[in-house]
Structure formats: C-alpha cells, structure tokens
Amino acid sequence: MSRKGQITPRILEPDVLYHSEIVAKLINRSIKDGKKSAAQKQVYQALEILKKETKSEDIIVTLEQALDNIKPKVEVRPRRIGGAVYQVPTPVRSARQYSLAIRWLINSARAKANKQYHSFGLKLAAELQSALNNEGSSINKRTEVERMAEANKAFAHMRW
C-alpha cells in the first residue's frame, strides 16, 4: 500500500445541457458498452419526462431532491476483531452518499421490467419519480442498509 498521502479526486466535467456535475455522474454511471452518447440521450430523456411530470422549473433541484431521499446516512462495514467479523455501523461521507445513491438509482432502473417501460429513459424517469415520493426499490435499498446499521448499533463503539 502506498504511503504517499491522499489521492486527489478527479475533477469531473459538467454535462453539456444542464452544466451540472450530478447529471454528468448520472450519465457516466449509466453508460453501457462504452456508448456515452446513448447514455446521455437516455438520461436527458428521463430528466425531460421528470420535468413534465413534476412541473418544476429547475430540474436539477428536483434531481438533487430525489437523490437526497436515496442517500444513506449510515452503513455497516466489516471489522475483524479477535477472529470474529463484526458489522460496524459508520457514517457515510458526502461523496460516497451521492455515489451510492446514483448507483442504486441506476441499478433499480435497470431492474424494471421491459414490458412496462420500453426504454431506459422511461425506467429512470419512473424510478426518479418514485424516489421523489419516498418509494421504489432504490429507497428500499437505502432503508435496508440503514436497518442493518440500526440492528448492529451495539458494535458502534468498535469504529476505527
């Protein structure tokens, strides 16, 4: 392991249409088979659908609100002590909160049935809409992670 200090995070270019880093992260996470332009079209389609459904002026604020609903506050991390592995609840850093929220959002949108939604943009818009209403599989994932942390609260003193 290198001892040269902390790695500086890579600076991400904001997206072309909304000039937002969060939208750029959403696009980068939704890339499949290296096709960034296809991912851009799908994410922009999802945001336009969400804009029409919510009737909001600023779609970035709406997107951030949906991601805030998905972001976990605490998670469990395995810690080995005396031959036993304990799941120790730890607070989640801000950057990781956004990363997990976007990952869960994309995965739950991909898991939706193709029969009901015919494109990834429609799936993503539906998942964002349900996240705004504090429901859906991405919210269930956050609840599951926070429930695990609550169940293992007794091991919180083992945090490093």
Instruction: Convert the chain into a string of H (helix), E (strand) and C (coil).
Output: CCCCCCCCCCCCCCCCCCCCHHHHHHHHHCCCCCCHHHHHHHHHHHHHHHHHHHCCCCHHHHHHHHHHHHCCCEEEEEEEECCEEEEEEEECCHHHHHHHHHHHHHHHHHCCCCCCCCCHHHHHHHHHHHHHCCCCHHHHHHHHHHHHHHHCHHHHHHCC
d(C-alpha 129, C-alpha 69), whole Å? 11
pLDDT of residue 1: 62
Enumerate the domain spans of the chain.
Answer: 21-78+88-158
d(C-alpha 111, C-alpha 148), whole Å? 23
pLDDT of residue 160: 63
Locate tokens 């919180």: which residue?
156
pLDDT of residue 156: 86
Q: 21-78+88-158 has which CATH code?
A: 1.10.455.10
pLDDT of residue 125: 95
Locate tokens 């499949």: which residue?
32
Going residue by residue through the chain (160 aa), what tens digit of pLDDT does each one get? Answer: 678 888 888 899 999 999 999 999 999 999 999 999 999 999 999 999 999 999 988 999 999 999 999 999 999 999 998 999 999 999 999 999 999 999 999 999 999 988 888 899 999 999 999 999 999 999 999 999 999 999 999 988 877 6
Locate tokens 């805030």: which residue?
68
pLDDT of residue 97: 96
Determine contact, residues 89/59, Cβ cutoff 8 Å: no
pTM, to two decimals = 0.90
